[in-house]
Amino acid sequence: MKVSLEWLRELIDVKVPAEELAETLTRGGIEVEGVEHLNQGLEPILVGEIVRLEHHPDADKLWICDVNLGDQSVQIVTGAQNLLVNDKIPVAAHGTTLPTGQKIRKSKLRGVESNGMLCSTDELLLNASFGDPRSEGGIMILPPETPVGISLSEVIQGDSVLDLELYPNRPDCLAMVNVAREISSLTGEKIHVNCWAETEQGPDYPADTQTQIIIEEPELCHRYAALLVEDVKIEPSPDWMQKRLSAAGVRPISNIVDITNYVMLEMGQPLHAFDRDKVSGAVHVRRARAGEKLMTLDHAERTLDPEMLLIADDKEALGLAGVMGGLDSEITDSTTRILVESAHFSNVSIRRTSRRLGLRSEASNRFEKGINVAGIAATLGRVSELILQLGAGRPVGFVEECKILPEARTVKITAENTSALLGMSFSLEEISSVLDRLQFSYEPKDGGFLVKVPSYRSDIQIEQDLIEEVARLTGYDRIPTTLPRGSQTQGRRTQEQEFRRKLRHLMVNLGMNEVLTYSFNRPDADKAWGQAERGIPLMNPLREELSVMRTSLLPSLLEVAARNVTRRNLDVRIFEIGNVYLGTGEPLTELPEERLRLAGLLYGKPSRHWLKSSNEYSFYTVKGLMEEVGQELGIKLEYRVPKNTELLHPGRSAEIYLQGEKVGFMGELYPAMGKESGLEHALVFELELKPLFDASDRTIRAASIPRFPAVQRDLAVVVAKDIPAQAVMARIRELGGKLLENVDIFDVYTGKPIPEDRKSLAFALRYQSLERTLTDEEVTALNTKILEGIEKEFGAESRK
């Protein structure tokens, strides 16, 4: 938004230089991107008139001009192609320095002397909107009535333009009257806006019975008003209006068009004027029809779609609502009656239309950010006032159709909340002072104020918005600087993260490969392996096969393994650490329980010597993995005969317990299931990790390396077949005491000469002391004690 200081001074007493005013606005939250002084450096530039214009004899693209400067005539050679005899143009004579810093001297161009330079707006650092439309891309053409020989600074009077960088939350400052209000609230100066800026009422004219307004899309057009003007005289607008429009970056065209643009800049409400005699029947606000075409004012034919909003009559489209008018209904020199439109259009609709067509305008920019729906009728009052003031016509009628008119917003603000949010103490008196400066009406209520927010301040919706106004107007620099507070922690992993990381590294170091699968399962597979009664079906699954949240990790691992086997990868060792999701019943009223688990699968023959298995993976391979997990975590896992053998081989599976609580299972797939899936003899395991984490010993203990040698003894016994080897091993540990450093089972044998109802178990016992060397007699005595103990408890016999 470009704000003319000369125009602004009409609305408010600005007593400070432009740069100081820019600083005040910026500190108040309205950023000023730059300040432009329109007549700076224009004093030596003179107004000249072209009295002769002929081609250069030796250059097709050069012209020789005789220019009248009032008291002298000079010859200038130029390459501009937009000049005509009798044109008034700015001239930089010999010795003149341009605003750009360039110094003009006499020269010869292709042998013809040139005594100066004709200037363009770029060379004078002026906005391109200055001058006649023929100025674009060439020499600046001044109005025909401009006196010859005077300084250009007298033509373009001293003015400064503030370029406001507005954010979407402050669309109100796209209007001069609201910029004046903003400056008033920041400086305390009184404003002198026109009467129409202080009311929501329209002009007092008879109803226009000739014009009917039909809003077919109320959600896209809340309100539409129109002013009928007769006896229209199309002519140039006065100099003061043209200069203000040019300073704002808008090119003057004619009095009627200039009035609509002027009021748009002044009041913030976009307007458009139609030639009333080119409108057939009623004015419709409707969606475009598919494939409908419209020739817009820029002479481009647009193909429309039903997402775009149109202004149309009974026969055809008149213009793109809020973006650009149509060429067929534009105002021309022969226009005698006009219909001036003022409306509120949906910002989303205008933004979509503008983007799809690649067409942006001052009007669309304002509609996109949001306009004051309550000021639509009053804006036409300002239009009628200017039309009468300029003698451009005779307003005779007013018509309006209103579908939605939002109620006035009221927002409550308290000193307590203001002080808490801004971090400093504010009294009710200070808050009321701010509201007075903003010219907001308010009344006391419950220890604060109930504020009636003006319709033009669409950015104020809640109490925090009002508190921001208090901060802006009292000064952001008043808010004390405080350092961030809070407990500081060292940036490191939590114990749970370290636990998971340790487990992942262990499995990888044991030769397993980690996989990551979906958190969803097939219903039938999840029912088989998980807890179907606690399953959670998805409302919108990725596909039917993945329609429930998983309650087990194994179905996904089985699918990964099967996919690898079908592609001839016959050595599969995979694991996954992930959550399973257990619901509380349907319908789901609370978040499901998430349990972290470790699951794995082994299939095939090892491609190398792996975990001491040179033949193929077996139940003991998986048991070895579980033992490694227990040793790494400092816990002792127990293994029991499984109760459910529908999924796992009854003789090659086990349930895993920790401190009497079941924490998982392991074993070989049931033969029928393995054959069906193509994974015969595949081995699986699944562990609950929370019990393991709670029981794990996370204390690091250091022990010296034993200085004394260990003694290894083997013990082979024959026991009944139904006696678990784990129970025998546990009893051996008890009997061995502190000197028994380790015990491993290395052989289980059935067959001749062992009786059919019995089996042979062979254990490797390792004795060691940290204080001395054990004697052979001590070890033999311990071995004998162990053998006698298990003979007595399990009916074991020593195997020779």
Question: Percent of the chain having pLDDT more than 70?
Answer: 98
Enumerate long-range contacts of 254-262, CB under 8 Å, 24 or more apart. Answer: 254/331, 255/390, 255/392, 256/232, 256/331, 256/335, 256/338, 256/387, 256/392, 256/393, 257/331, 259/383, 259/386, 259/387, 259/390, 259/392, 260/340, 260/383, 261/362, 262/237, 262/386
Predicted confidence (pLDDT) per residue in 150-166, tens digit: 988 888 766 888 999 98
Predicted confidence (pLDDT) per residue in 452-477, tens digit: 999 999 899 999 999 999 999 988 88
> What is the reported pLDDT for 465?
93
607 band by pLDDT with thresholds 50, 70 and 90: low
Between 741 and 614, name the one with better pLDDT.
741
Q: Which residues pair with 537 in a beta bridge?
A: 548
CA of 438: how far to CAs of 169, 372, 431, 449, 451, in Å?
17, 17, 11, 14, 11
Angle at 601 between CA 600 and CA 603, to 5 degrees: 160
Between 48 and 249, name the one with better pLDDT.
48
**Per-domain boundaries in the chain:** 2-38+161-193, 46-157, 213-402, 409-478, 495-695, 711-798
CATH classification code of 409-478? 3.30.56.10
Predicted confidence (pLDDT) per residue in 169-205, tens digit: 889 999 999 999 999 999 988 898 989 998 888 898 9
Domain 495-695 matching CATH 3.30.930.10: the answer reads yes
Mean pLDDT lowest among 130-144, 221-235, 247-261: 130-144
CATH of region 213-402, choose from 3.30.390.30, 3.50.40.10, 3.40.50.1000, 3.30.2350.10: 3.50.40.10
Counting Cα atoms < 13 Å in the Cβ hemisphere of 187 gives 21
Q: Is the pLDDT of residue 392 over 90?
A: yes
Predicted confidence (pLDDT) per residue in 730-748, tens digit: 899 999 998 999 999 999 9
* Cα gap 695→660, rounded to integer Å: 12
Report the SS3 class of residue 87: coil
Predicted confidence (pLDDT) per residue in 694-734, tens digit: 998 767 777 778 889 999 999 999 999 989 888 899 899 99
**Cβ–Cβ under 8 Å, residues 402 and 249:** no
Check if 2-38+161-193 and 409-478 are the same fold.
Answer: yes
615 band by pLDDT with thresholds 50, 70 and 90: low
> Of 7-16, 239-248, 662-671, which one has max mean pLDDT?
662-671
The crossing angle, in degrees rounded to 10, of helices 428-438 and 415-422 is 90
Q: Is the pLDDT of residue 28 over 50?
A: yes
DSSP state for residue 141 in the 8-state scheme: P
Q: What are phi and psi of 245, to 5 degrees?
A: -65, -45
**Mean pLDDT, the chain, whole residue set:** 89
CATH classification code of 2-38+161-193? 3.30.56.10
540 band by pLDDT with thresholds 50, 70 and 90: confident
39 band by pLDDT with thresholds 50, 70 and 90: confident
> What is the reported pLDDT for 613?
47
CATH of region 46-157, choose from 1.25.40.80, 2.40.50.140, 3.30.559.10, 1.10.3720.10: 2.40.50.140
Predicted confidence (pLDDT) per residue in 423-441, tens digit: 889 999 999 999 999 999 9
Q: Is the pLDDT of residue 609 over 60?
A: no
CA of 189: how far to CAs of 25, 438, 637, in Å?
14, 12, 83
Q: Top-level CATH class of 711-798? A: alpha beta
Report the SS3 class of residue 210: coil
Predicted confidence (pLDDT) per residue in 407-422, tens digit: 889 999 999 999 999 9
608 band by pLDDT with thresholds 50, 70 and 90: low
b/e 221-255 (16+ beta carbons within 10 angstroms → b): bbbbbbbbbeebebeebeeebbbbbbbbebbbbbb
